A and B are shown apart, each in its own frame.
Chain A
Amino acid sequence: DTGVSQDPRHKITKRGQNVTFRCDPISEHNRLYWYRQTLGQGPEFLTYFQNEAQLEKSRLLSDRFSAERPKGSFSTLEIQRTEQGDSAMYLCASSLAVMGGETQYFGPGTRLLVL
């Protein structure tokens, strides 16, 4: 399977703990996105990378959230001092930036539950 993969698929943690999620994009894609999805809502943009550069962060992304994409390949999303409100599905998507538009391909997501 050469699609976007995410690990872990599920994470249960206690409030105050740190968690880290990993995303492996489609290999030739230069853009990588993180989204958050809560019940009854569509994906909400968190941040994106072009190669290794993080080019934009949403206001949804508090200081407790940090994302990296070393070497422009896989990416990690870390949440420090988790809160119950962080419980959500975290989606990763990748794309190949082209003139006029791009199609984002999504991974299966990591479902986070903060107790």
Chain B
Amino acid sequence: AQSVSQHNHHVILSEAASLELGCNYSYGGTVNLFWYVQYPGQHLQLLLKYFSGDPLVKGIKGFEAEFIKSKFSFNLRKPSVQWSDTAEYFCAAQNTGGFKTIFGAGTRLFVKA
């Protein structure tokens, strides 16, 4: 069955710490991969996406993610988090031939000032 799993449900970091959020997917065929972010009281916004090409993708606000096909992973990273990064982060996978997008359960990140 198709699935996306996120390793941590909650992460607490201090400002300036480095961030890595894990995401693994189980999907037949080739996939497109996404990270979405939901800031408190706001709607889901796209952080970055991978369709093809360079497996290291850069997104908004200094985030990046690396697609490692052999590990079925698409981990999200940021070298130095800010208090304003406090949000919930969702990893998602989509089969390249169609539309269906499967989301992980999300990781709540809290950054202490």
Contact = CB atoms under 8 A, between A and B. Distances in A.
Contacts of A48: 99
A29 to B, nearest CB: 12
B63 to A, nearest CB: 16
Chain A interface bracket (under 10, 10 to 19, 20 to 34, 35 or more):
20 to 34
A95 B101 CA distance: 12
Contacts of B34: 103
Contacts of A65: none
Contacts, number: 55
28 contacts: A33-B101, A40-B9, A40-B105, A41-B105, A41-B106, A42-B4, A42-B90, A42-B103, A42-B105, A42-B106, A43-B44, A43-B103, A44-B103, A55-B99, A91-B43, A93-B44, A97-B99, A100-B51, A101-B94, A101-B96, A102-B94, A103-B34, A103-B49, A105-B46, A106-B43, A106-B45, A108-B42, A109-B43
Interface of A: 31, 33, 40-45, 48, 55-56, 91, 93, 95, 97, 100-109
